[in-house]
Structure 1
Amino acid sequence: MPIEPSFRTDPKDYTEEEKAKLKVKDLKEDSIGIYTSLHDLSHDDLEKEVSLIAKSFGIYLEFNRDKMKLSNVKEWIYMIRVPIPGGGPIRPDQWKILDDISNKYTISDAYTGYPLPSLKLTTRQAVQFHHVKKKDLVNVIREIAQSGFLTINGCGDNVRSTIACPLSKYYIFDSNMLSIKIARYFRLPPELFIQVFEIPVIENRPSEESFEYPDNLLPRKFKIGIAGVIRTADGKYVIDNCVEVRANDIGIVPIIEEDKVIGYQIYVGGSMGENNSYPTFSAFGLPLGTVNNDDELIKILDAIVRIQQEWGDRKNRHWARFKYLVYKMGLNWLREKVKEYSGFSLGKVREIDLGYRDLHLGWTELGNKWAYGVFVENGRLINGKNGKIKSMIRYIADNFNNVRLYITPNQHLLITDIEVEQKYKIEKILSEFNYGLRDDRPYSKLRVNSIACVGFPTCKMSFTDSERFLPKLIDELERRGWSDVPISLGISGCVAQCSRPATHPISWIGSGYELYMLKLGGGKDSLGEPLIDWEENAIYLYQVPANRLVDTTEALFELYEKNKHLGRSAEEVFKKLGNKKIIEWLKNNEKTKDLMKPHRFDKKIDGYREYHELLRNRLKEVTEYR
């Protein structure tokens, strides 16, 4: 079945049930009712309507799924997300407030599978607090506000916090400041938030000009990312795609000429999320056109979001993301709509290399100062096997008032503005807190380059483990001798794929409890896709048991090593081999041949088949607009 989103459905055609669903997302609901529900401790959960509104306040209602397996009783807990545009800057005094909150409210629990308390850093450069109890919910939000950060726009059907390269600001393009400017423009009206949580003062209020959200917000969440510019060792300025800009609904890439940024290229239609029960797909954003300056950029962004607001599918959330509008209606249609809504015509599409992607780990010289990127495995800032990293960052915040912290788009933490005379002191602190070692061995290349989302036991969308599983998988692959293989792994507990796993050459996506689907071939030019035999109309390795992932991953590593002469990257090697040869290899490999049973999963195959058909048409439109 082809995808048939009901774009711009006339509201009079909605059923009463559909109208009711739209109404519960209305942020103009009575604040007294929300306030009462959040303070009602007679039950630990929230009413459905309130939980939907709470999402826009950065509050997720969750439950401990490990405990539920044992007792069949939901223990309601909350995750609170603090969106930080561009990942910072976070002053030491602000970090200390966030760290104190984690120590006070992220409850220690044997069922989590990792040490608590913790701070979770995300791929959207946010801070998350897990395992918060309802009785502490309001206090946590108020204490976060004392740091100057807010949880508004942390979730829900609005424009989420804008992500950006955290180091670019130290060169010729301040993507961090631009991300803050965009995030402020698209911030939700704060009045209800202030009333509900009784917050007396809010820093960084929205500017006088801001996006006008309708009562029922956007059809779905909307994400914006900004690539950066950094200088390589030979003194050349290059685009740094650490944000994986094409994975966003809108991607913004600076245009460099003669070591100056002269404008931006806009990409549209990226998104990782899909659904196995509907013919949906993951997609990379495509170049729409160029703009000349920041003011023009904001007007174009406003127009694009309003187009999605008015034309996005509001009847079916599975087809409500912006990518379906882009891929179905086309780039030429969207360009005309942008001109109609903004008054600006987009400039021609340019050829831009997005192949450079820096994780910003280790030491980076910033003129007369330094930055140090701290590896935080899967973004979980704890005292654990990888060293006492949580305590180390707190110690640095307590003793170095001049530094600034940034969360990277790959869930790590960057310490910047380190004075030359402080560099030795920081190096000594890293050693004292056992940073850089796991079980007394240096972090491997495979571990540093791989990534996972939260997954079990807290994320209620997740089918299985992710964050808790990947370190153990890498432990075993390291034991088998694969520490320095030039391949990264991405793991997600579900098809939402918050960790952007499909941008890695090998990714594993949760498809059931302790079951994972393979996606292969992700990288700078394309997203990884399921292992589909198009002639056979079948998916292979759709539900691989967790205890067989190490064998299957090793078989793929072996295939790469055997054929690495075919390309400069694992992405290129797997693409050149093609699914037929990869399937044949796995069918004949002793480690995997018993797993190679075809799954005729028609809806997922239909979604990807249509994606490729639509992509061919969209790429023609890109070529015609160069």
Structure 2
Amino acid sequence: MKIPIEPNFRTDPKDYSEEERAKLKTKGLTEDTIGIYSSFHDLSREDLEKEVSLIAKSFGIYIEFNRDKMKLNGVKDWIYMVRLPIPGGGPISSKQWRILDDISNKYTISDAYTGYPSPSLKLTTRQAIQFHHVKKRDLPNLIREVAESGFLTVNGCGDNVRNTIACPLSKYWVFDANSLARKIANYFRLPLDLYLQVFEIPLIENRQFDRESFKYGENLLPRKFKIAIAGVLRTINGKYIIDNCVEVQSNDIGIVPLIEDEKVIGYQIYVGGSMGENNSYPTFSALGLPIGTVVNDSELIKVLDAIVTIQEEWGDRKNRHWARFKYVVYKMGLEWLREKVREHSGIQLGKIVKVDLTHKDLHLGWINLGDNKWAYGIFVENGRLIDGKNGRTKSMIRYIADNFDNLMFYITPNQHLLITEIDQPQKEKIDGILREFNYGFRDGKPYSSLRINSTACVGFPTCKLSFTDSERFLPSLIDELERRGWKDIPVSIGLSGCVAQCSRPALHPISWVGSGYELYMLKIGGGNGSLGEPLIDWDENSIYLYQVPSNRLADVTEALFELYEKNKDISEDPSLVFRLLGNKKIIEWLKGHEKTKDLMKPHKFDRKIEGYREYHDLLRKRLEEVSRYG
């Protein structure tokens, strides 16, 4: 059965969704016509009016409730997550870190139902910081205290350009991706007047933000919009290579520097990436495609403005499941988009060039920055900075911030933390602190390569989109796989609590995506420029391993590890091994495996299958366009 993906482009206002009508009432976040101020300051109720909760996202605030508690007593215990966008992941000074750490200690409450120790700071794949389990009474103070650090939570969530991410180390060599990220984020920042009014933040002189900026319309963008910038690293032999730690192709816009004679000579722009799907409609995850090149920062900003404007004008404002920019890109095509960019910006994009995006650095351990400067990358499991089974990591970072005022901190795009500007004499002292706080061990055992390379999003109990556990579950899954002897296998696992896939799981060779409570769907073959996809048998029109119980994930993952080990002579790249084997051979292997054969029942899921079928059909057409401009 054909279930078409038919976005409502250039939506007639009479067909606007509830979210679009709510945004219109604020005239682009400039007028409080729906009682935003009064709702946030009304402590007679713990939640927010629905329209206010929709607008609050652009202020970096999500209203949530503890779903474990609700299952227990049926009562919604309203709490809030506050997201602080930090373009390029930093820099965060030692003084700023102390402020943010103090905020977490005051306002991220301790609760047996969280499943992890509190307080905590959550580092994200978009180089942001999240404060979890915040009560409504504390929101205004928290937002004001964040502002005192020099940061703002605006653009943290919502239908606008989100936090611009970038390689955090590239700035130390021939390309300052971090500064470019801050420039782009500043350009696409939302109007501030209403935000400052609601949270009573003084508009001090250095926060006036008089600048050239993107002019958002009265109902902002149709959906969230993400921009990422790859970096440049110098290898041991002095060669410069592209560092794709940000996974540029998973974003609405990806920016890759072009290097010639150790200089940046321009940028290649990718469009149409997004991991999110929707199980109730035919949708798809997609990788961004190259659309062309520009020669400098000035042209780049003009082209970015044009692309975001095109999404603002064309994106579906009726159906939020088809409102991401990827549907405009894949449906309308790259030739159409190149011409629209020229109309809006006056710039004719240059030819597409071949770029190697396979190197992805996690930025962990000691890194020589040159000139007797060092950086150290701290592994933070799933981005949750706490004191727990992995040692006293949160306290360790605070101790370093308290005792070294010259250091700068950066959040990586893989949820870890970089400490930079370490002088040679400080290096030995930092090493001593790492040992003192027992860094590098989980329950007394050194971190395995499997643990270090795998990642998860937040999931239960707080994320209201999540079907099941993610952050709380992955560590125990790794524990079990380590117990079975797989700690050193060069295969990583991505895990997400739902199809929004915030942790970018489908860019790992093996990924598990929440499909129900304590149930997960397998996606296979992601990484190094390819997208992991469900285990579909296209001839049968069926999906296998769509709802695997959590207590069986170790069995399936182990069987896939064994399949990789039997076939690793094909390639050193696990994702390529799985892709070259293909779904039919993987299905055959799992049907014959003692630990998985009982799980191998075909699942008829027309919406999921047709969404991916349409993606492949459209992808073939778009790649033909790429070849014409390459």
TM-score class, shorter:
over 0.9
1:523 corresponding residue in structure 2? 527
- Aligned-residue offset at 1:206: 3.7
Deviation at residue 25 of structure 1 after TM alignment: 6.4
Whether the 8 Å CA contact 1:185–1:206 is kept in 2: the answer is no
SS in 2 for 1:178: helix
Give the residue type in structure 2 aligned to 1:532: I
Pairing 1:287-326 to 2, within 5 Å after superposition = 287-326=290-329
TM-score normalised per structure 2: 0.98
Q: How does 1:467-506 map to 2 (within 5 A)?
A: 467-506=471-510
Cα distance change of structure 1 residues 207 and 28 upon mapping to structure 2, 3 Å threshold: closer
The question of 1:64 aligning with 2:100 is answered: no
The AA in structure 2 aligned to 1:296 is E
2:274–2:286 Cα contact (<8 Å) kept: yes
d(CA) in 1 for partners of 2:23, 2:208: 27
Partner of 2:357: 354
Deviation, structure 1 residue 48 = 0.5
Aligned mate of 2:36, from 30, 34, 37:
34
Instruction: Report what 1:420 is aligned to.
Output: 424
The counterpart of 1:106, out of the listed 100, 105, 108, is 108
For the structure 1 residues 285 and 15, does the alpha-carbon distance in structure 2 shift closer, same or farther, using more than 3 Å as the test?
closer
Distance 1:261 1:208 in 2: 26
Tell me the equivalent position of 2:166.
164
- Partner SS state of residue 279, structure 1: coil
Q: Aligned runs of 1:108-187 on 2, under 5 Å?
A: 108-187=110-189
Amino acid in the other structure paired with 1:540: Y
Q: Distance in 1 between matches of 2:436 and 2:226?
A: 39
- How far did 1:17 drift? 6.5
For residue 363 of structure 1, give the secondary structure of its aligned residue in structure 2: strand
Q: 2 CA distance for matches of 1:321 and 1:563?
A: 38
The number of aligned residues is 625
Contact 1:280 1:608 in 2 (8 A): yes
- Give a deviation string over 1:4-52, Cα, whole Å, max 9, x none: 11111233x4379687355356423427821111111111000001111
Segments ≥4 residues shifted beyond 6 Å: 15-19
Question: Matched residues in 2 for 1:486 and 1:17: separation?
Answer: 46
Tell me, in whole angstroms, the C-alpha distance in 2 between the residues paired with 1:472 and 1:369.
Answer: 37
Between the aligned partners of 1:19 and 1:78, the Cα distance in structure 2 is 23
Match of 2:82 among 77, 80, 88: 80
2:615 is aligned with 1:611: yes
Q: Which amino acid aligns with 2:340?
A: K
Q: C-alpha offsets along residues 326-383 of structure 1, whole Å, 9 cap, x if unaligned?
A: 0000000000000000000000000000011000000001112000000000000000
Task: Give the 3 Å change call, closer, same or farther, for CA 31–89 of structure 1 in structure 2.
Answer: farther
Residues 154-204 of structure 1 show CA distances to partners (whole Å, capped at 9, x for unaligned) of 000000010000000000000000000000000001010111111113545
**Distance in 1 of aligned mates of 2:433 and 2:202:** 38
| 1:101-156 per-position Cα deviation (integer Å, ceiling 9, x unaligned) | 00011110000110000000000000000000001010000000000000000000
Q: What whole-Å deviation, never above 9, does each CA across 1:434-462 have from its counterpart, x for those lacking one?
A: 00011111100000000000000010000
1:309 maps to amino acid: E
Q: Structure 1: any 5+ residue segments left out of the alignment?
A: none
Q: Residue 376 of structure 1 aligns to which amino acid in structure 2?
A: V
Is the Cα contact below 8 Å between 1:31 and 1:195 reproduced in 2?
A: no
Going from structure 1 to structure 2, the CA distance change for 1:44 and 1:99 (only over 3 Å counts) comes to same
Q: Which of 43, 46, 52 is equivalent to 1:44?
A: 46
After TM superposition, give the deviation of residue 616 of structure 1 in Å.
Answer: 0.2
1:538 is aligned to 2:548 = no
Provide the secondary structure at the position in 2 that maps to 1:229. strand
- 1:459 aligns to what? 463
The TM-score with structure 1 as length reference comes to 0.98
The one of 584, 590, 604 equivalent to 1:600 is 604
Aligned residue type for 1:302:
D
Judge conservation of contact 1:162–1:182 (CA < 8 Å) in 2. Answer: yes
Q: Which runs of 5 or more residues in structure 2 are unaligned? A: none
The amino acid of 1:479's aligned partner reads: R
Could you say which residue in structure 2 is the equivalent of 1:14?
15
Instruction: Identify the residue that residue 624 of structure 1 maps to in structure 2.
Output: 628
| Gap change, CA 1:349 and 1:19, over 3 Å in 2 | closer
SS at match of 1:351: coil
Task: State the match for 2:272 in structure 1.
Answer: 269
Deviations 1:452-475, CA, capped at 9 Å, x for gaps: 000000100000000000000000
Distance 1:22 1:157 in 2: 9
Q: How far has the Cα of 1:225 moved from its partner?
A: 0.1
* Alignment correspondent of 1:210: 213
- When residues 537 and 94 of structure 1 are mapped into structure 2, their CA distance, relative to the original with a 3 A threshold, is same
Paired letter, 2:11: T
Choose the corresponding residue for 1:374, options 378, 383, 392.
Answer: 378
- C-alpha deviation, 1:393, in angstroms: 0.3
Q: Name 1:554's counterpart in structure 2.
A: 558
Match of 1:231 in 2: 234
- Cα gap change, 1:80/1:372 in structure 2, threshold over 3 Å: closer, same or farther? same
CA RMSD of aligned residues (A): 1.2
CA contact (8 A) 2:94 2:407 kept: yes
Letter in 2 for 1:390: K
Pick from 574, 579, 582: which aligns with 1:578?
A: 582
User: 1:319 & 1:24 partners in 2: Cα distance?
Assistant: 23
Equivalents in 2 of 1:565, 1:621: separation in Å?
34
Letter in 2 for 1:110: A
The code of the aligned residue for 1:417 comes to: E
User: Hey, what's the Cα distance between the residues in 2 that align with 1:31 and 1:252?
Assistant: 38
For the residue of structure 1 that corresponds to 2:113, the secondary structure is: coil
**What residue in structure 2 maps to residue 94 of structure 1?**
96
- 2:523 and 2:23 map into 1 onto residues whose CA distance is 34
**SS of 2:92 mapped into structure 1:** coil
Structure 1 pair 479–623 and aligned structure 2 pair: CA distance change class (3 A): same
Asked if the contact 2:22–2:54 (Cα under 8 Å) also holds between the matched residues in 1, the reply is no
Q: Which amino acid aligns with 2:496?
A: S
Q: Deviations over 1:75-117 (max 9, x none)?
A: 0000000000000000001000000000011110000110000
- Paired letter, 2:15: Y
How many angstroms apart in 2 are the aligned matches of 1:359 and 1:107?
30
Identical counterparts, % of pairs: 76
How big is the shift at 1:207? 4.7
Alignment partners' CA distance in 1, 2:589 and 2:542: 17
* Structure 1 residues 15 and 189: alpha-carbon distance in aligned structure 2, compared to 1, 3 A threshold: closer
One-letter code aligned to 1:244: E
SS in 2 for 1:111: helix
The yes-or-no answer on 1:53 pairing with 2:38 is no
**Counterpart code for 2:555:** D
Q: 1:567 pairs with 560, 566, 571, which one?
A: 571
Q: Which amino acid aligns with 2:620?
A: R
> How far apart, in 2, do the equivalents of 1:326 and 1:360 lie?
32
